[in-house]
Structure 1
Amino acid sequence: MTTNAELYSRRIAAIPKGVVNGLQVFAARAENAEIWDIEGRRYIDFAAGIAVCNTGHRHPKVVAAVEAQLKAFSHTAFQVMPYEGYIALAERLNAIAPIAAPTKTIFFNTGAEAVENAVKIARAATGRTGIIAFSGAFHGRTLMTTALTGKVVPYKKRFGTLPAEIWRVPFPVAQYGVTVEDSLKMLDSILRTDADPDQVAAILIEPVQGEGGFHIAPPELLRAIRKVCDEHGILLIADEVQTGFARTGKMFAMQHSRVEPDLMTMAKALGGGFPISGVVGRAEIMDTVDGGGLGSTYGGAPLSCAAALAVLDVIEAEDLVARAAEIGERLRSRFTQWSQRNDLQPVTNIRGLGAMNAFDLPDAATVKTVIGKAFEGGLIQISCGVFGETLRFLPPLTISDALIDEGLDVLEGALVR
């Protein structure tokens, strides 16, 4: 039997160090909220492939849909010979997108591609080039999305000159001493001193920051940004790559604020483990790009579209929007108990929407230690935050209460000082 150590040695020899692994064990199989490594050890999964497996690993309906599509055909390229699955998925998303106006959707492969193309569409629609983003944001690893991302290490370091005409507003985070008023003052300052509003195509924001620390965009901030966009003809792009598809207790996180974006990016949980991303937006905006200006060889691949349609069916049939809210309440209740104990590492700044939750520990070193101890106990846990001080929780929305509690018991043991 191949061991984890043997595979990791092969990985080191064959794959560059620029892509890191949180764990040095290798997956053999997975089912719902559990994963087994190649040596047969079982883990409870509180990461869900970074919010990809909202419907769990290998949901039977997703597996069945992909198997059926594979028996028909696996690829034609939608630009060469189109197929119904792409159209059906676009119709479903157009119907549920939190945008009142008629919408259209186009598909790509990754979240970064979705953001990159949302920027292209915004520029084509407005005839402008500038983009305003936020500190702590994560939007991808292409050159444009790296420039939009609000963290230097490891995303920007040593990559040279990045695309220009990007301005950054501080994201309001209480523990960093940044208020909504501070953010709006900086936005106003940028539009007065650095960027002519007539040259700004879009403001891009995550309704809940992902890599930045699971900080929630206050509704008053989103409403104010919407007002600024309307005043100056700027488009509002909501990056829902990590927050979408029931994760936050709504189908999309923007629904918590009732603020409508003009364009919205999506990926991760849409495919239930198969690569697919998309941009949905107001039809009049989406149609401003000339024919051939948008596309992707694999974007909206037949297998991924079949999986995504099944994911939407599962979310509806199993009421995963409501389940996300239940999971969040269960997690935050336990976190609150921990925050009141003196025998554990200090648990602070508890926060979350639905099943997208986090809390802070004293520093990145403590987080790393706790994650390591949790892993030894059989729990997959990941971190985030500008300073690496945050534990984030993204369990599959199909996880049982019993598994949640088992995982939290493991984590509690890891938190003991």
Structure 2
Amino acid sequence: MTSVPAWFDASRPVPDLRTPLPGPAGRAAVALDASVTSPSLPRAYPMTPVRGYGSAIEDLDGNLFLDFNAGIAVNSTGHAHPTVVAAVREQAENLLHYSASDFFLPIYAEYCRALTATAPMGVPTRAFLTNSGAEAVEGALKLVRFATGRPYAISFFGAFHGRSFGAMTLTASKAKYHSGFGPLLPGILHAPYAPASPSYLEDVLFRFQVDPREVAAVFVEPIQGEGGYIVPPPGWMARLREICDRHGIMLVADEVQSGMGRTGKMWAIEHTGVRPDVLITAKGIASGLPLGAFVARADLMESWPMGAHGSTYGGSPVPCAAGLATLRVIAEENLMANATAQGDFLLTGLRELAEREPGTVRDVRGVGLMIGVEFADGRVAGLVQQACFQRGLLVLEAGENVVRMSPPLTLTRQDAATGLRLFGEAVSEVAADLRMSRDLGAAR
């Protein structure tokens, strides 16, 4: 980063908490929110962010936090990266919006060219731009059904693909995401995710539930995100690709959370050597602005006619400018290499923590800056998340008993070390409290 916002004091420690959490201004904001917003919005803790820089984010009361969730893996280049901010400002001064659905928007094509140049297919590809990951999932589902003429799609237990109707039906990470919304989209089936064998598709689904000749696509997260940051074992993805090839089924890689350099490669599926037919992305591709995309083999994308799919706002000029700047920053600042280096540092430290707390930490896993810590007791993840917040470290739960870390790719070694220390303190505090609670219960 070449410039620092005027408000940011580089000499100030991160985190730096100056009020109880939340502070008075934060409490007022939470109260207002509770009176006017939809109660369907899930909130992890009473955090009221107003500005950020790098891996630091400040709330309404001037408390400074160390951000290890990056807005749920969205702020890939950190908060307010000057290159991204400058690109947004320049574009906003020229053209805020014009729809690429009905007109030839130059920056839309420019961004599609840049994005498809990163695609892991190994063949010519085309892209469609959206406002979000869920929209990209919906578009990809439409495309594979149209291109193959087949009605069914398969995804995995633990998967999170979004909250719109088709994406929600593909999602199977929590039953509550489906509750009250049925009947869901027809033609969607689910299978166990890794480490279960992909042969479940042939041994069970194709034997008892669906003829594989009617399956358009398998949707898979190369690393499951909301389901618990689960990394499949070596060879699992290749086996899945083989099954899809055998039956003429498209393989759709959902890289909304795992992509854009987070795992040390542009796309997590590149670690497996597998080439998908369609790739879905969003979250980190525009450093915080609303942008998503699905990229497909050119022959698939060319199968549907004009008017088959569109979007008024998808690929609007300002998000596209941010997307182009994000790709440039990732390349010029070697952020994928940094994700690998800082991720390895965190994984090593977290595994040492697991050795110190063997009855508390069950597993530490991840690739690059996509890290999950699984706890033996289902109560612990939520308690650790809150204990981290009270220390000024922002992390998030995932799955049923996992805390995930997805900091900006710009994370420094100093901030990584600070986050590791605070997380260890939080885990030790929660573990000690639970041991004391159990001892008191036994004494009674």
Per the normalisation by structure 2, the TM-score is: 0.89
Could you say which residue in structure 2 is the equivalent of 1:176?
none
398, 405, 413: which one aligns with 2:417:
405
390, 395, 404: which one aligns with 2:402:
390
Give me the whole-angstrom Cα distance separating, in 2, the residues matched to 1:338 and 1:79. 51
1:164 positional shift: 1.3
Structure 1 contact 184–221 (Cα < 8 Å) conserved: no
**In terms of mean alpha carbon deviation, does 156-165 or 243-252 score higher?**
156-165
284, 299, 315: which one aligns with 1:269:
284
Structure 1 contact 345–415 (Cα < 8 Å) conserved: no
Please list, as runs of the form range in 1=range in 2, the aligned pairs for 1:280-299 lying within 5 A after superposition: 280-299=295-314
Could you say which residue in structure 1 is the equivalent of 2:426?
414
Could you say which residue in structure 2 is the equivalent of 1:62?
84
Give me the whole-angstrom Cα distance separating, in 2, the residues matched to 1:201 and 1:188. 18
Stretches of structure 2 lacking an aligned partner (at least 5 in a row): 1-22, 433-444
Structure 2 contact 192–200 (Cα < 8 Å) conserved: no
Q: Counterpart amino acid of 1:94?
A: T
Q: Counterpart amino acid of 1:370?
A: V
Could you say which residue in structure 1 is the equivalent of 2:366?
352
Give me the whole-angstrom Cα distance separating, in 2, the residues matched to 1:159 and 1:38. 36
Determine helix, strand or coil for the equivalent of 2:117: helix
Determine helix, strand or coil for the equivalent of 1:69: helix
Structure 1 contact 169–187 (Cα < 8 Å) conserved: no
1:214-265 alpha-carbon deviations (Å, 9 max, x no partner): 1113342211221121121111100010011110111001100110000010
Could you say which residue in structure 2 is the equivalent of 1:365?
379
Determine helix, strand or coil for the equivalent of 2:175: coil
338, 352, 359: which one aligns with 1:323:
338
Could you say which residue in structure 2 is the equivalent of 1:48?
70
265, 268, 274: which one aligns with 1:253:
268
1:312-364 alpha-carbon deviations (Å, 9 max, x no partner): 0000001111111111111111111111114x862221111111111111233
Could you say which residue in structure 2 is the equivalent of 1:193?
208
Please list, as runs of the form range in 1=range in 2, the aligned pairs for 1:219-238 lying within 5 A after superposition: 219-238=234-253
266, 270, 278: which one aligns with 2:293:
278
Q: Counterpart amino acid of 2:409?
A: L
Give me the whole-angstrom Cα distance separating, in 1, the residues matched to 2:202 and 2:247. 13
Q: Which runs of 4+ in 1 moved over 4 A?
A: none
Structure 1 contact 33–44 (Cα < 8 Å) conserved: yes
Structure 1 contact 76–82 (Cα < 8 Å) conserved: no
- Percent of matched pairs sharing the same residue: 37
Determine helix, strand or coil for the equivalent of 1:154: helix
1:381-409 alpha-carbon deviations (Å, 9 max, x no partner): 10101xx2001110111011111111221
The aligned length equals 407
Distance 1:69 1:2, change over 3 A: farther
**Does residue 1:163 correspond to 2:163, yes or no?**
no
1:155-188 alpha-carbon deviations (Å, 9 max, x no partner): 1111121011111110124xxxxx32xx413443
Distance 1:25 1:355, change over 3 A: closer
Q: Counterpart amino acid of 2:360?
A: P
Determine helix, strand or coil for the equivalent of 1:40: coil
1:183-219 alpha-carbon deviations (Å, 9 max, x no partner): 4134432112211111110011000000111111334
Could you say which residue in structure 2 is the equivalent of 1:209?
224
**Does residue 1:132 correspond to 2:146, yes or no?**
no
Structure 2 contact 354–363 (Cα < 8 Å) conserved: no
Determine helix, strand or coil for the equivalent of 1:254: helix
Determine helix, strand or coil for the equivalent of 1:12: helix
Give me the whole-angstrom Cα distance separating, in 1, the residues matched to 2:93 and 2:103. 18
1:80 positional shift: 2.9
Distance 1:373 1:152, change over 3 A: closer
Q: Counterpart amino acid of 1:5?
A: R
1:121-150 alpha-carbon deviations (Å, 9 max, x no partner): 001100011001111000000111111111
Structure 1 contact 328–356 (Cα < 8 Å) conserved: yes
1:268-314 alpha-carbon deviations (Å, 9 max, x no partner): 00011000000101001011111111111110010000000000000
**Does residue 1:117 correspond to 2:139, yes or no?**
yes
Determine helix, strand or coil for the equivalent of 2:141: helix
**Does residue 1:83 correspond to 2:126, yes or no?**
no
Distance 1:90 1:219, change over 3 A: farther
Determine helix, strand or coil for the equivalent of 1:349: strand
Determine helix, strand or coil for the equivalent of 1:193: helix
**Does residue 1:95 correspond to 2:117, yes or no?**
yes
Please list, as runs of the form range in 1=range in 2, the aligned pairs for 1:334-345 lying within 5 A after superposition: 334-342=349-357
Per the normalisation by structure 1, the TM-score is: 0.95
